[in-house]
Chains A and B, each alone.
Chain A
Amino acid sequence: MSGLATGSIYALMALSLVIIYNATRTLNFAQGEMLMISTFVGWTALQLLRAPLLVALLVAVVAAALLAWVLERTIIRHAISATHFDVLIITLGLSLMLRSAAGLLWTHDEFPFPSFFGSRPLGVGAVRVAPASLGIIGASLALMLALGALFRWTRLGRAMRAVAQNQRAARLMGISVEQVYSASWILAAAVGAVAGVLIAPVVFLSSQMGLVAINGFTAAVLGGFGSMPGAVVGGMVLGVLENLAPLYLPASIKHSVPFLVMITILIVRPGGLFGRVAPRKV
């Protein structure tokens, strides 16, 4: 069960990576750092204003959206027609800068973060479950459904899918590619901020928190990059595997699990559990 809770964290992270990927076909290396910064902003609101946790969550989401908008407008927008390789390097640079900036602002220490959920385990039949696990699982499922609906049924969602499929054709259909880019960055950052506030009580708040993005990526790859249900299932599977592996293998293997899983899945089934490998067009 705690594996599933960890898994939900990875799933949320994977979701925010997939949002940007689905609209822009690029990977945002700075996703984890954006999550970390927005959680820090929420935490600052908690400390300075003695605000309730719900307000802190809102502050974090707004801060994330703002940060994403600024970054997109000032940096990513200039590389809108650049290759994925270039954007990858740019977001890598962003992640370095954001982590370093957070360290300067809030130091590199770890801080405790209050949780929405009590710490007393609930009894479900014979199984005892931590409320935090249930909360994280529930919240990520709800977010996933909401995002799925957005992509499927709204105008914005359709525009995002169109831009992902063919930027030029989408532009000819009157879709503003720039706006779609902004929207997907903001949306992804907001999801990331929710994830950050949910997981900060579990992993502690620190400038290194963004590294969870790597596991999020593994989860997304495991489920088939670009597929939202895949991202959630991939996250869950990864979380459970990570918790079970030390039982059967040397205990020190736990930290390598995401990487071993990633290499294995990429070699055996690059399309992931749910994805298909898109045929290449000339």
Chain B
Amino acid sequence: MRAAALGSGAVVVLGWPWAAPRYFVFLASLIAINAIVAIGLNLLTGYTNQLSFGHAGFLAIGAYAAALLTIQAPLVPLPATLLAAGLVTAAMGLALGVPCLRLEGLYLAMATLAFGFVVVEAILNLDWLTRGNDGLRVPAARIGPWALTTDTSRYYVVVTVAALLILAARNITRTRTGRALLAVRESEIAAQASGVHLAAYKTLAFVVSAFYTGVAGGLFALVVGFLSPDSFDVFLSVDFVAMIIVGGLGSILGSVMGAAVITTLNDSLAGFQSYRPLVFGAILIVSMLFMPGGIASALQKIQPRQGDRA
């Protein structure tokens, strides 16, 4: 049953570019990128209860790092570029995460919100490097002899990276580290009493989360091909939070589903810009009040009943 679901899922994901129109291939790439961010954010928020409204800032750092590296050193292979984007962002995550250890709850939310604003202002002010408001055009990346010029080729790169990162996240959450993170979420004091090094694990969550978001940023630069500071505003951070709320806090599968729902919704509401926040606000409130565990836990509730029938 599980294997069949996984197998058919893989067939759909791999066959998608051959069945769907070009635009939907691009959209699927965006969903995969947002899923990576959502997983990263979930590792931080869902697993250690540290709410962040600054992930658009991390995404921007990863995206600009990858774009600048591609421009300055076109010969660097794509995996190395993505890794570099992830590492640069992880370093920023460390720099922000260590002082933020002292904060919790809404203080942390506001500090990360402020971080997001500062990143956008920094991009605007460092215009000799980032070209500020004019935006930065990203040249096509290369893997060895192939230039990634089509949506389909970029889609496969994004899906491969996303699959790797999903596997990695599953492994993190199933090991000792994952259990330690969950213990931190349930009760910091109890976790500490059981020998979990609080500061180390909370910082680790910050760094890993930033790494994921940075890699996603690199992929974003690759897929979209054009970066400007206004694509990384605070509302994007809110979208990321909405993804993990709708999908389910503390669930990897939920992150992916939340990313799919919110990205698709975002795209279908593109023609109704003035109604978009109205819908998003309503979704946040409704899922918080009536579906606190998100789609993931709603599915879990349904699953046993199916098992009974079988």
- A91 to B, closest residue via Cβ: B285
Is the beta-carbon distance between A93 and B110 smaller than 8 angstroms? no
Closest-CB distance, B167 to chain A (whole angstroms)? 28
What are 19 A-B residue pairs whose CB atoms fall within 8 Å in the complex?
Answer: A26-B106, A27-B109, A85-B49, A86-B288, A88-B105, A88-B106, A89-B288, A92-B238, A93-B285, A96-B278, A97-B282, A100-B278, A101-B278, A253-B121, A255-B117, A256-B117, A256-B118, A259-B117, A267-B100
Q: Which of B282-309 contact A (CB under 8 A)?
A: 282-285, 288-289, 292
Is the beta-carbon distance between B281 and A94 smaller than 8 angstroms? yes
Is the beta-carbon distance between B111 and A262 smaller than 8 angstroms? yes
Given A85-B51, A259-B117, A267-B102, answer yes or no on A93-B107 (Cβ-Cβ < 8 Å).
no
Contact-residue bracket for chain A: 35 or more
Is the beta-carbon distance between A256 and B121 smaller than 8 angstroms? yes
Q: Which of A252-282 contact B (CB under 8 A)?
A: 252-253, 255-256, 258-260, 262-263, 266-267, 270, 280, 282
- Chain A residues with CB under 8 Å of B111's CB are 262-263, 266
- Chain A residues with CB under 8 Å of B280's CB are 93, 96
Is the beta-carbon distance between B189 and A96 smaller than 8 angstroms? no
- Chain A residues with CB under 8 Å of B102's CB are 266-267, 270
- Chain B residues with CB under 8 Å of A86's CB are 288, 292
Alpha-carbon distance A6/B38, docked complex (angstroms): 38
- Chain B residues with CB under 8 Å of A263's CB are 99, 111, 114-115, 118
Alpha-carbon distance A78/B103, docked complex (angstroms): 27
Closest-CB distance, B184 to chain A (whole angstroms)? 14
Is the beta-carbon distance between B103 and A93 smaller than 8 angstroms? no
B241 an interface residue at 8 Å Cβ cutoff? yes
- Chain A residues with CB under 8 Å of B125's CB are 250, 252
User: Shortest 9 CB-CB distances between A and B: which pairs?
Assistant: A93-B284, A97-B281, A96-B281, A259-B114, A100-B277, A100-B278, A93-B285, A93-B281, A96-B277
Given A86-B292, A252-B125, answer yes or no on A96-B105 (Cβ-Cβ < 8 Å).
no
- Chain B residues with CB under 8 Å of A266's CB are 99-100, 102-103, 107, 110-111
Is the beta-carbon distance between A100 and B49 smaller than 8 angstroms? no
Q: Which of B50-96 contact A (CB under 8 A)?
A: 51
B276 an interface residue at 8 Å Cβ cutoff? yes
Q: Which of A114-160 contact B (CB under 8 A)?
A: none
